[in-house]
Amino acid sequence: MQFEVFTLLPEVFPSYLETSILKRAQERGLIKVNVHNIRDYTYDKHHVTDDTPYGGGGGMVMKPEPVFEAVEKVLDISPLQTSGKPDSTIPIILLTPQGRVFNQSIAKELSQYPRIALICGRYEGIDERIRKNLVTDEISIGDYVLTGGEIPALLVIDAVSRLLPNVLGDPTGAEDDSHAMGLLEYPHYTRPPEFRGDKVPDVLLSGDHAKIDKWRREQALERTFRKRPDMLEKAELSKDDLKFLENLEERGKKKEE
Ligand code: ADE
């Protein structure tokens, strides 16, 4: 899968991308991340990428020309003379606090594409014509405002890449993740069997895999019930799951009485 990142701060990307799993994924040709400097697509003497807002007010606004030029050249899409979305099968995603809020299901959706473009905003804002006439999707990573879209772009690349075949060492790696099944993940333990008086639950040392699977499922259900009950509304639940949750609720009510 190929990511085309458009940014005014290309130097932000290598340190994260050249580490650990994403580094290995690139070396093995599973992902490719091309980082494009929007400033390289300016043709004036001072390589200006921002300007003051029409109508006044503070802050600077990202100019449309270099962003259109960069995206159209890299994706090889012909410039539109009139307004309207470009004819592109590649999602052109703007990272912005105004976008749909990123989650595991959007990561999965994006992982189906062979190539996606990510545009990182900077300054106080971007010229609205970028949003209206170039971008095909807008993603926010949460209800807070950062200084730019670079961290959000890295976050999207990370979450999408680890869903691709063979990126994680363990072939079932992404299947049991928190959120992958619509539940939070069960607790994990490794050696030593006892640490500062706290023991690993006996069931995990029992070697009984049916019992371990049941315990893990129940732990995942209980964690989700306590920490993120909103997720249970969308999760796929079996009859046994529902019975277990009903019992939890009953126990909770008894405690209150
Ligand atoms: N740029 C600034 N804040 C952002 C956010 N929360 N999500 C995506 N892009 C952003």
Give the closest residue (by CA) to ligand 1 atom 2. 146
Section 177-191 average pLDDT: 91
d(CA 154, CA 17): 8
37 contact partners, CB below 8 Å, separation of at least 6: 7, 8, 10
Per CATH, 2-161 and 178-256 having the same topology is answered: no
Is the bond preceding residue 192 a cis peptide, omega within 30 degrees?
Answer: yes
- pLDDT digits 0-9 by tens, 128-180: 999 999 999 999 999 999 999 999 999 999 999 999 999 998 877 787 787 87
Atom of ligand 1 nearest to the CA of 144: 6
Phi then psi for 70, rounded to 5 degrees?
A: -60, -50
Distance 95 CA to ligand 1 centre (A): 6
- pLDDT digits 0-9 by tens, 42-67: 999 999 999 999 999 999 999 999 99
- pLDDT digits 0-9 by tens, 5-46: 999 999 999 999 999 999 999 999 999 999 999 999 999 999
Residues that are catalytic: 97, 124, 162, 177
- pLDDT digits 0-9 by tens, 61-102: 999 999 999 999 999 998 776 677 777 799 999 999 999 999
Domain residue ranges of the chain, discontinuous segments joined by +: 2-161, 178-256
Give the closest residue (by CA) to ligand 1 atom 5. 97
Which residues' Cβ are closer than 6 Å to ligand 1? 95-97, 121, 140-142, 144-146, 148-149, 152
Contact 187, 217 (CB under 8 A): no
Beta bridge partners of 93: 118, 137
Q: Output the CATH code of domain 2-161.
A: 3.40.1280.10
pLDDT higher than 90, residue 3: yes
Strands (E), 173-254: 194-195, 198-199
Distance 119 CA to ligand 1 centre (A): 11
Which of 34, 12, 33, 11 has the alpha carbon at shortest distance from 21? Answer: 33
Q: Output the CATH code of domain 178-256.
A: 1.10.1270.20
Classify the C-alpha dihedral 235-240-243-249 as positive or negative. negative
